[in-house]
């Protein structure tokens, strides 16, 4: 830990009167990842905006900046791991403008182990003109590398997990965002847990609080299990013809045996997103969100 990090840490600790500890930086990567990605040293927690904003709550976690290339395009991401329990639930955060999702991911990694991978794009949704969540083409370096990292830390029986925060409401209804329980189309269906609430930070019932699942066919069992926990569900029906190269589509088409669970909440409402994470984790641990194994070898 260098002097500047130490100073920031001490100041926060003093201000908050808590001993949450501080983030560690630049931990060694597993050998097999060193072959596909390059580590770029972080000089201090302030060298990455998301780490700077969350460092005071990141005790027990380590953050690395990694880079890799897909053709000429350079991708830069933060890899955050729980030092004591690096294998567990592992989350993907493709959008750097969704700051609440980052804070929620910190909470999840501290509480449940595992970690997360977050795209860095100067605080923007797009990274040099590309939406990181519309870039999952088959056999691209991007897809291979992102899934390679996730699979290095994803615990057994864990689905692919993602976190997003979305802006209040939906543009079609005078809101600001592009995702809402109130807006559906032929292949994205809404399954509310109760009455949908409109407005800012309305908690689990907010039109922007939703668990996003995807698959070739509706999975009523998982939808019902999530609804029973008070969680709204959006289910994306995926087929190869309408593939938008998002993570949800890629997994439904190529890794359906593992499955996809994406927790979205309104931007700024970290406490609701944390609640949603807790409930989803309870369902995963109880087996209610378990996906089919790839294949079973006959005994």
Q: Return the closest-CA partner of residue 29 out of 2, 65, 57, 75.
A: 65
Tell me how far, at minimum, the Cβ of 164 lies from Zn ion, in Å.
3
Q: How many residues bind Zn ion (CB under 5 A)?
A: 2
Structural element, H or E, at residue 267: none
User: Based on CB atoms, which residue is closest to Zn ion, 64 or 267?
Assistant: 267
Tell me how far, at minimum, the Cβ of 135 lies from Zn ion, in Å.
13
Q: Are strands 260-266 and 73-82 parallel, antiparallel or unpaired?
A: unpaired
Tell me how far, at minimum, the Cβ of 61 lies from Zn ion, in Å.
22
Q: Return the closest-CA partner of residue 173 out of 164, 165, 185, 183.
A: 183
Q: Give residues 120-179 in contact with Zn ion (rule: CB under 5 A).
A: 164
Ramachandran region, residue 233 (left: φ > 0; alpha: ψ -120 to 50; beta: rest): beta
Tell me how far, at minimum, the Cβ of 22 lies from Zn ion, in Å.
28
Alpha-carbon gap, residue 48 to 179, rounded angstroms: 28
User: Based on CB atoms, which residue is closest to Zn ion, 164 or 275?
Assistant: 164
Alpha-carbon gap, residue 203 to 61, rounded angstroms: 28
Tell me how far, at minimum, the Cβ of 269 lies from Zn ion, in Å.
14
Answer whether 63's CB lies under 8 Å from 80's CB.
Answer: yes
Tell me how far, at minimum, the Cβ of 124 lies from Zn ion, in Å.
11
User: Based on CB atoms, which residue is closest to Zn ion, 85 or 125?
Assistant: 125
Query: What contacts 235, CB < 8 A, 6 or more positions away?
Result: 188, 189, 191, 212, 213, 214, 215, 218, 219, 223
Q: Is 229 in the site for Zn ion (CB under 5 A)?
A: no
User: Based on CB atoms, which residue is closest to Zn ion, 164 or 274?
Assistant: 164
User: Based on CB atoms, which residue is closest to Zn ion, 21 or 268?
Assistant: 268
User: Based on CB atoms, which residue is closest to Zn ion, 56 or 92?
Assistant: 92
Query: In the stretch 72-111, what mask flags binding to Zn ion with x, by CB under 5 A?
Result: -----------------------x----------------
Binding site for Zn ion (CB under 5 A): 95, 164
């Amino acid at each position: 830990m260098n002097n500047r990090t130490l100073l920031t840490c001490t100041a926060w600790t003093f201000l908050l009167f808590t001993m949450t500890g501080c983030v560690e930086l630049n931990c060694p990567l597993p050998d097999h990842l060193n072959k596909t990605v390059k580590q770029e040293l972080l000089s201090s927690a302030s060298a990455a905006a998301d780490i700077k904003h969350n460092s005071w709550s990141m005790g027990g976690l380590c953050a690395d900046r990694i880079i890799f290339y897909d053709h000429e395009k350079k991708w830069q991401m933060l890899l955050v791991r729980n030092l004591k329990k690096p294998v567990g639930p592992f989350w993907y955060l493709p959008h750097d403008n969704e700051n609440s999702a980052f804070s929620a991911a910190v909470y999840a990694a501290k509480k449940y182990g595992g970690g997360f991978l977050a795209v860095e794009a100067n605080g923007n949704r797009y990274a040099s003109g590309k939406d990181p969540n519309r870039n999952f083409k088959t056999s691209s370096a991007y897809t291979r590398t992102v899934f390679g990292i996730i699979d290095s830390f994803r615990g057994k029986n864990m689905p692919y997990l993602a976190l997003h925060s979305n802006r209040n409401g939906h543009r079609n209804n005078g809101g600001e965002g592009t995702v809402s329980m109130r807006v559906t189309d032929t292949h994205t269906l809404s399954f509310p847990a109760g009455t949908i609430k409109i407005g800012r930070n309305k908690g689990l019932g907010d039109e922007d609080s939703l668990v996003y699942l995807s698959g070739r066919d509706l999975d009523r069992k998982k939808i019902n299990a999530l609804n029973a926990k008070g969680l709204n569900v959006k289910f994306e029906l995926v087929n190869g013809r309408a593939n938008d190269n998002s993570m949800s589509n890629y997994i439904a088409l190529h890794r359906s045996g593992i499955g996809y669970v994406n927790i979205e909440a309104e931007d700024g409402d970290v406490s609701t997103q944390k609640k949603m994470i807790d409930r989803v984790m309870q369902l995963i641990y109880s087996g209610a969100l378990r996906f089919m194994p790839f294949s079973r070898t006959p005994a």
